[in-house]
Amino acid sequence: MAKTKVAVSKECCSSLLSAPLAETDAIGLAHAFAALADPVRLRLLSLVAQAGEVCSCDLERPLGKSQPTISHHTKALADAGLIIGEKRGRWMWWTIAPDRIASLRAVLA
């Protein structure tokens, strides 16, 4: 606990390469990139982006992982602000967070 929400804070600095990076910002950015540092989460992100909107039950099959593992990865991506979840009935629907991804992309500018 007490760690899951750190990465969601707004990234202050537009680019790594054009300005010195403060320790605090580095920690937040590291958490965000850590969310991308797993092949299952990258493919999950790709699947969600392709479909526009996907429920968790439709992720187990193509990713070849158990239901708790899928839940673990969706939570990691959601905590990092990369996907957004909305519960409708029994299903959890996931969409990508394009502005968040764009801000990460800007860091590599």
Interface ranges with a copy of itself (CB under 8 A): 16-21, 23, 26-27, 29-31, 33-34, 36-43, 45-47, 49-50, 96, 101-102, 104-105, 108-109
Nearest of 85, 97, 76 to residue 54 by alpha carbon: 85
- Is 89 a binding residue for DNA by CB under 7 A? The answer is yes
Q: Which residues of 17-41 are buried (b: 16+ CB within 10 A; e: fewer)?
A: eeeeeeeebeebbebbeebeeeebb
Q: Which does 10 bind (CB under 5 to 8 A by kind): DNA, a copy of itself, none?
A: none
Q: Which is nearer to a copy of itself, 47 or 89 (CB)?
A: 47
CA distance 105 to 15: 9
Residue with tokens 């996931």: 94
- Is 16 a binding residue for DNA by CB under 7 A? The answer is no
Interface residues toward DNA, by CB under 7 A = 34, 37-38, 40-41, 55-57, 65-76, 85, 89-92
